[in-house]
């Protein structure tokens, strides 16, 4: 029977990063992935020769080569991947669009500060005090306790309209909580989006996944695709082995699970209280056009759209909540690696409503989402006159099928386990439910959990 | 092992961990953290590399002894003997 030092469940960003760290220091390590394509929440697929990315629209936490102390440079150093290999290109600029007010931001934080000063002159000083607090906050401390970010930010920002606009991108790019988030997570997201910013690796998310896999295999790590786990076999609070869907049993001293906390607790053999799954899920429409947005006068990289002064980041009452959306223009980065024009439009959705549809209605409703996406693009950019070549829509149901996240909850459970420990001595959590978010956060989660629990045996340096 | 030879071994390890750093002007008496972009995760890597390459174990409580190049060498010299 095979016996490993560590088994990692899930070949997403966090699992792969954890695997690299362990293989680097000669552990016998195996990553088990249920699907045939790695990537997890940030993955990709092909349709009719077109490349479609799923997951985050961009990489957050942009940093220049060699820039000290940034999450991105830290993680590249830990993975020993040269910066150049990512071939990052930066966003042009992004916009938060609310009724009658909008704020642009780019990878130069001065733009955001300037825009807030112009649009909310009486909040200028308040915002600079908030900024100062954010910069000096120890956001990655694993011992930080939950604190409502909205309550905390209200100590600085007294205009709710500005507060809602600041929160909008941060919530939809990472919050498992409805309408609020933990202040540590707010700070992580704030820095990663407003202070560091968006970029895109050449050819999208698959480049990062391929880079991680290449490094991992080079170091001697084993990767098994199509290897789903039906049970984590435990005995008196200790994991002994895992049992695959086909009945194969694999032994391991430690198990690091990146599939989510409730999803992990669901498959341990000694029943555990199962934390609730989150309820934030989404639809996304991926549209291909015969013209590139830039040729039609659209230069934004990402638009965070909201049709009300209040931003409703909460589970949709209907299939989708069309009051808000995120629209991404993947062509609009420093360089453009697509042949066609591409637009991705995301709406907040309701898992149960999507899940109960029969096949005919499901397909019909997907069409409706596509029509709503096209209508919103036409509303924001009346001059965009391009022919639709191809489109695909994925729903909360698709997300559950391909990521295993219960209820298609993209950002996982509202219960985060910052130190990665579980009720089982040698079973640890990394990834979404550890609580570092985004592509960079996911990789840092895998690295820090592998360091803490598998290389240092849980003692903190 | 003499000071320079041991120093070179440590430089080789740091070079592998911090690919983007210039290591030609390290002041042996100044904390490495103040001269280079090294954080606690990177010190873990120095320790892991010592174990991997030379089978030298550095317990967690001794990490502060790796603060400067000089203190590294003084601490590690008997272990290399």
Residues in chain B: 81
Backbone angles phi, psi at A328, to 5 degrees: -115, 140
Contact across the interface for A26 and B45, Cβ inside 8 Å: no
Contact across the interface for B44 and A451, Cβ inside 8 Å: yes
A90 close to A333: Cβ distance less than 8 angstroms:
yes
> What distance in Å separates residue B19's CA from the closest CA in chain A?
7
Residue A244 pairs with which residues in a beta bridge?
A229
Q: What is the pLDDT of residue A67?
A: 87
Q: DSSP secondary-structure letter at A8?
A: E
What one-character-per-residue DSSP string does A105-162 give?
Answer: E-SSHHHHHHHHHHH-GGGHHHHHHHHHHHHH--TT-TTPPP-BHHHHHHTT---HHH
Q: Name residues whose C-beta falls within 8 Å of residue A358's C-beta, 6 or more positions apart in sequence.
A: none
Q: Is A229 helix (H, G, I), strand (E, B) or coil?
A: strand
Q: Which helix (H) or strand (E) holds A172?
A: helix A160-172
Residues of A in contact with B32 (CB under 8 A): none
Q: What is the pLDDT along chain A (461 residues), one digit of tens a residue?
A: 679 999 999 999 999 999 999 999 999 999 999 999 999 999 888 888 898 998 889 999 999 998 888 999 999 999 999 999 999 999 999 999 999 999 999 999 999 999 999 999 999 999 999 999 999 998 877 788 889 999 999 999 999 999 999 999 999 999 999 999 999 889 999 999 999 999 999 999 999 999 999 999 999 999 999 999 999 999 999 999 999 999 999 999 999 999 999 999 999 999 888 888 899 999 999 999 999 999 999 999 999 999 999 999 999 999 999 999 999 999 999 999 999 999 999 999 999 999 999 999 999 999 999 999 999 999 999 999 999 999 999 999 999 999 999 999 999 998 889 899 999 999 999 999 998 888 999 999 999 999 999 998 665 44
Q: Is A460 helix (H, G, I), strand (E, B) or coil?
A: coil
Q: What is the pLDDT of residue A258?
A: 97
Q: What is the pLDDT of residue A81?
A: 93
Predicted TM-score of the model (pTM)? 0.94
Give the closest of B17, B20, B41 to A451, CB-based: B41
Contact across the interface for B18 and A69, Cβ inside 8 Å: no
Residue A30 pairs with which residues in a beta bridge?
A7, A222
Q: What is the pLDDT of residue B21?
A: 83
Separation in Å, CA B36 to CA A138, A156, A323, B28: 21, 35, 48, 12
A247 close to A434: Cβ distance less than 8 angstroms:
no
* Alpha helices (runs of H) in A261-395, residue ranges in sequence order: 261-265, 351-355, 359-380
Give the closest of A82, A448, A459 to B19, CB-based: A82
3-state secondary structure A230-262: EEEEEECCEEEEEEECCCCEEEEEEEEECCCHH
Contact across the interface for B20 and A451, Cβ inside 8 Å: no
Give the closest of A24, A65, A459 to B20, CB-based: A65
Q: What is the pLDDT of residue A273?
A: 83
Give the closest of B19, B44, B52 to A456, CB-based: B44
A290 close to A387: Cβ distance less than 8 angstroms:
yes
Contact across the interface for A80 and B19, Cβ inside 8 Å: yes
Q: What is the ipTM of this complex?
A: 0.87
Q: What is the pLDDT of residue A460?
A: 46
Rounded CA-CA distance B53/B12 in Å is 11
Give the closest of B18, B42, B48 to A455, CB-based: B48
Residues in chain A: 461
Pick from A442, A327, A320: nearest CA to A376: A327
Which residues of A sit within 8 Å Cβ distance of B?
24-26, 65-66, 68-69, 73-74, 77-78, 80, 82-83, 447-448, 451, 455-456, 459-461
With tokens 């453009």, the residue in question is A336
Closest-CA residue of A relative to B37 is A68
Closest-CA residue of B relative to A81 is B19
Give the closest of A25, A68, A77 to B48, CB-based: A25
Q: Is B55 left (phi over 0), alpha (psi -120 to 50) or beta?
A: left
Residues of A in contact with B20 (CB under 8 A): 65-66, 73, 77, 83
CB atoms within 10 A of CB A100: 8
CB atoms within 10 A of CB B6: 18
Residues of B in contact with A25 (CB under 8 A): 48, 51-52
Residues of A in contact with B67 (CB under 8 A): none
Contact across the interface for B18 and A26, Cβ inside 8 Å: no
Pick from A213, A255, A221: nearest CA to A37: A213
Contact across the interface for B17 and A66, Cβ inside 8 Å: no
Give the closest of A26, A68, A69 to B52, CB-based: A26
Closest-CA residue of B relative to A68 is B37
Residues of B in contact with A66 (CB under 8 A): 20-21, 37
Q: Name residues whose C-beta falls within 8 Å of residue A455's C-beta, 6 or more positions apart in sequence.
A: A21, A22, A25, B44, B48
Contact across the interface for B41 and A74, Cβ inside 8 Å: yes
Contact across the interface for A66 and B20, Cβ inside 8 Å: yes
Contact across the interface for A25 and B52, Cβ inside 8 Å: yes
Q: Is A330 left (phi over 0), alpha (psi -120 to 50) or beta?
A: alpha
Contact across the interface for A455 and B39, Cβ inside 8 Å: no
């Amino acid at each position: 029977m095979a016996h490993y030092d560590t088994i990692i469940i899930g070949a997403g960003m966090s699992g792969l990063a954890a695997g690299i760290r362990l293989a680097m220091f000669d552990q016998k390590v195996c990553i088990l992935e249920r699907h045939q394509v790695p990537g997890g929440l940030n993955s990709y697929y092909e349709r009719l020769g077109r490349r479609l990315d799923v997951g985050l629209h961009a990489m957050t936490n942009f940093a220049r080569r060699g820039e000290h102390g940034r999450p991105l440079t830290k993680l590249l150093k830990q993975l020993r991947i040269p910066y150049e290999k990512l071939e990052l290109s930066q966003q042009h600029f992004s916009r938060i669009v609310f009724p009658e007010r909008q704020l642009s931001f780019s990878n130069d934080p001065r733009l955001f500060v300037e825009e807030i000063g112009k649009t909310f002159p009486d909040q200028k000083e308040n915002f600079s005090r908030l900024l100062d607090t954010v910069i000096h906050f120890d956001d990655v401390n694993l011992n930080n306790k939950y604190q409502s970010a909205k309550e905390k930010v209200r100590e600085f920002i007294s205009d709710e309209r500005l507060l809602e606009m600041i929160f909008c991108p941060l919530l939809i790019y990472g919050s498992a909580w409805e309408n609020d988030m933990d202040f540590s997570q707010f700070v992580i997201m704030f820095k990663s989006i407003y202070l560091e910013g968006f970029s895109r690796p050449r050819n999208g998310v698959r480049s990062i996944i391929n880079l991680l896999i290449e490094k991992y295999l080079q170091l001697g790590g084993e990767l098994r695709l199509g290897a789903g786990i039906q049970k984590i076999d435990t005995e008196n609070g200790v994991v002994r082995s895992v049992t695959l869907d086909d009945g194969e049993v694999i032994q391991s001293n430690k198990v690091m699970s990146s599939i989510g906390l409730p999803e992990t607790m669901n498959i341990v053999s000694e029943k555990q209280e199962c934390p609730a799954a989150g309820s934030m899920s989404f639809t996304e429409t991926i549209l291909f056009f015969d013209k590139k947005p830039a040729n039609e006068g659209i230069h934004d990289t990402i638009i965070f759209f909201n049709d009300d002064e209040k931003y409703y980041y909460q589970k949709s009452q209907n299939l989708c909540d069309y009051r808000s959306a995120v629209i991404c223009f993947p062509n609009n980065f420093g360089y453009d690696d697509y042949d066609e024009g591409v637009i991705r439009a995301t709406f907040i959705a309701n898992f149960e409503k999507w899940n109960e549809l029969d096949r005919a209605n499901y397909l019909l409703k997907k069409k409706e989402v596509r029509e709503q996406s096209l209508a919103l693009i036409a509303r924001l950019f009346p001059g965009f006159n391009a022919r639709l070549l191809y489109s695909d829509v994925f729903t909360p149901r698709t997300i559950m099928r391909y990521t295993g996240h219960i209820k298609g909850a993209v950002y996982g459970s509202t219960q985060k386990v910052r130190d990665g420990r579980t009720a089982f001595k040698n079973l640890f959590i990394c990834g979404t439910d550890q609580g570092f978010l985004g592509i960079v956060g996911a990789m840092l989660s895998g690295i820090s959990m592998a360091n803490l629990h598998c290389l240092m045996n849980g003692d903190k340096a | 092992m003499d000071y320079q030879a041991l120093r070179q071994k440590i430089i080789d390890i740091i070079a592998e961990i911090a690919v983007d750093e210039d290591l030609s002007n390290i002041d042996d008496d100044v904390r490495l953290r103040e001269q280079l972009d090294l954080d606690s995760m990177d010190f873990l890597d120095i320790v892991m590399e010592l174990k991997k390459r030379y089978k030298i174990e550095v317990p967690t409580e001794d990490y502060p002894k790796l603060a400067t190049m000089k203190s590294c060498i003084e601490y590690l010299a008997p272990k290399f003997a």
